Amino acid sequence: MMSRFFRDARPFLTFGVCLVSLVALNGSAADAKPAVGLAITVAAGGEREMSVAQNVSLHVEAAKPASPFVAGGAFTATWEGFINADLRGNFSFQADLNGALKVEINSAVVLEATGTGGGSPLSKPIQLNKGPNAFRASFTAAEKGDSFVRLSWTEKPPFTSPIPSTAFTHAGSTGLQKAAELRLGRELFLNHRCIQCHTDAKLAGAGVPELKMDAPSLEGIGARRNYDWMARWILDPKSLRPSAQMPKLLHGANAKEDAESIAAYLASLKTGGEVKLAEVAYKTRQNEPADGEGQAASTDAKPLYERLHCIGCHNPPDAKEPDPAKLSQKRIAEKFPVGKLAEFLRAPEAHYAWTRMPNFHLSAKEAKELEDWLFAAAPKVVMKPAPTDAAVIERGKKLVQSTGCLNCHSLGMENQLKAPPVDALHSRHVAKREKAPAGDCLGQTPAADYRFSAEERAALNAFTLAGFASLSRHVPAEFAERQARALNCTACHGQLDLVPAFEILGGKLKPEWAAKFIAGEIPHKVRYDAHPKGEPWVESRMPAFKSRAKDLAHGMAQRHGYAPKSPAEAPVDAALAEVGRKLAGKDGGFSCVSCHGIGPALALEVFESEGINLAYSADRLMPDYYRRWFRAPTSIDPQTKMPVYFDEGKSPLTDVLDGDGEKQISAVWEYLRLRDKMPAPKSGAE
């Protein structure tokens, strides 16, 4: 059970790079206040790396690296910092693990265990003082199989829960500063697609997933973008979007003329790359209301732009006080021809698999509504027509081939610009020692001007000097950390009603289901509407990030100490499932069907908020999470409408399984495991 003094805290996501970078780039370690999370040192094969972890939890597949900066195989991990208490109290600790773990608090050994896949015994209670308590945990990888550890705690044995990240803090250090700089350099290298120019044959088809990251295809680009916008973008991308990752490639007195020639050539490409759009089959509602029973959304309903929470990532075109951290849509009417924005919104990934713009499963009607709304809100512009002079177009074509465009963008043409491979970059930087050679992207006369800040240039130099071995090491947990930030997952998760906090998802959702959901392959909302007036309880909609889905889901699970593949299930216990059916019903049960639908059957009595459809629960939920939720839902979400049924393991339904709460929880789980074959519980009206 979660500590009493953390129940009302909304834990937030702890990202190592972000937290440590703030210390490393904005001030000295000595001046920094304690930051959330623990400092973790991973050592393997003579290599060491420091970062920040949100908890004492990890999962590393056999022979794989625990960090991109250490070799695969046997490793040790050490977490250091403080465990904090608002009030003095006694806590017991327990670990699920394959490997060896030692936990020390205030210099006393609290837990020492070696496991081969199961849980350790619960430790004796130890008193935590009010405020910070010195904390250290050391883990040694298992000799066989995957290594993993998940540390949990409790004030009221025997049931434990994960320790929230807000309970841990750590102090800055020079080691963390240097590690943050190295990670930042690696991330910049990946995000700016440096490998597309500076190739490495050893990494072909292997390594970090972002090595395969594409850029928008130029096939048929003239039909999808306006000439005038393209000319300005090509000349200086950051003048239109300060966060643009595309560099300024054109320099000198002829730069503007060159940009216009390239744009003229691209504007002439009217065919190729066409998208065949099918009517969306995504379901936002479970059952349509019968005639006269439900009404369509009222005329004063929120615009779709607001219902989909587009403002989480974007400043709308008419924003009065735009947020500099968000992407502006002020120029959206300059960028897209009429009709092409709607087409883009229905399939953002069609010409750019790694786009950060997700697919919201929009119908043709919804996409048009969004385009009309955005164009109406955007400033009115008069666009220049594209030049049609054959000589200008031919000049633009040659520039596309010779300036480096085709290192990132695909067009089915010969690329005539070659850059040094990554090994040559490393050698040249070593020769210059910590200063990029002139003519490099980081030098004083850059070939491609990315407008990197001084801190970013220093980080890229540090990464280049260290070498590129980390690019060959894919660590899903680290990938998930980076991509969750890049995709701005917390703009919705933990911010919108009924959208769960992001930091719990890796320990909540089975990775197989999460991968499909993130990829947009689950064709329905997991929580439908059943409101008497017909409007949905959950207006927001989970979008799809197909290119990242599998690795993101795997990494989320491994950050919480779970395998990227769920263990095989035993056959359903039919007798126990029948008991679970009774418990889910209104007749002598917990009346789950009042708020939850089961398959096609809607919830019977929704008063405030409809629950998740129970037919999907066994595919979605980790068994550990299900048990914690059923035992004490408010310890996970203090705002939940889910009742608390059990008091210290005892159930109010004393005539079922002797009132044993754990046995009843197991019975309901067996019933949920019937999935779409679940027979409806008795409603009490039969």
Same domain for 202 and 260?
Answer: yes
Q: Is 80 exceeded by the pLDDT of residue 302?
A: no
Is residue 332 one of the residues assigned to a domain?
Answer: no
Last residue of a domain, one of 421, 454, 474: 474
- Residue 296 pLDDT grade (very low, low, confident, very high; cuts 50, 70, 90): very low
pLDDT band at 534 (very low <50, low <70, confident <90, very high): low
Same domain, 60 and 131: yes
In terms of domains, do 153 and 33 share one?
Answer: yes
Determine, yes or no, domain membership for 354.
no
Q: Which of 388, 438, 466, 398 is nearest to 189 (CA)?
A: 466
Q: Is the pLDDT of residue 140 over 60?
A: yes
Paired tokens of 186: 């690696």
Same domain membership, residue 205 and residue 174: no
Segment 41-56, tens digit of pLDDT: 999 999 999 999 999 9
- CATH number, position 60: 2.60.120.1560
Residue 158: Cβ-neighbour burial (10 angstroms; 0-12, 13-18, 19+): exposed
Give the dihedral sign, CA 418/424/428/430.
positive
Q: What are the C-alpha distances in Å from 154 to residues 110, 160, 547, 647?
A: 13, 5, 39, 15
Q: Which sign, positive or negative, has the C-alpha torsion 243, 248, 253, 255? A: negative
Q: Is the residue at 216 inside a domain?
A: yes
Asked if 115 and 96 count as a contact pair (C-beta separation under 8 A), the reply is yes
* Domains contained in the chain, number: 3
- As a residue count, the chain comes to 686
Query: Has residue 533 been placed in a domain?
Result: no
131 shares its domain with 231: no
Looking at the structure, do residues 225 and 262 belong to the same domain, yes or no? yes
Q: How far apart are CA 613 and CA 631, in angstroms?
A: 19
| pLDDT tens figures, 3-39 | 332 333 333 333 344 434 443 344 444 456 899 999 9
Pair 90, 175 in one domain: yes
Mean of the per-residue pLDDT values of the chain: 89
Whole-number pLDDT of residue 1: 33
Confidence of residue 535 (pLDDT cuts 50, 70, 90): low
Say if residue 176 is in the same domain as residue 230.
Answer: no
Q: Are residues 37 and 77 in the same domain?
A: yes
Per-residue pLDDT, 288: 55
- Ramachandran angles phi, psi of 79, nearest 5°: -100, 135
Buried b (16+ CB within 10 A) or exposed e, 114-147: ebeeeebebbeebebeeebbebbbbbbbbeeebb
Residue 430 belongs to some domain of the structure: yes
Q: Is the pLDDT at 539 greater than 50, yes or no? A: yes
The rounded distance, in Å, linking the Cα atoms of 50 and 612 is 40
CA proximity to 509, closest of 623, 598, 607, 670 = 623
26 and 86 share a domain?
Answer: yes
Identify the DSSP state of 509: B
> Is 668 within the bounds of a domain?
yes
Which pTM was predicted? Answer: 0.91
Q: Please give the DSSP secondary-structure letter assigned to residue 598.
A: B
What is the span of the domain harbouring residue 131? Answer: 16-180
Answer yes or no: is 111 within a domain: yes
Q: Examine the fold and report which residue of 122, 150, 180 is the final residue of a domain before the chain moves on.
A: 180
What whole-number distance in Å separates Cα of residue 496 and Cα of residue 503? 14
CATH code at 657?
1.10.760.10
3-state secondary structure of 93: strand
Q: Does residue 447 register a pLDDT over 80?
A: no
From 446, 474, 502, the end of a domain falls on 474
> Per the domain annotation, does 540 fall within a domain?
no
171 and 204 in a common domain: no
465 with 607, same domain: the answer is: no
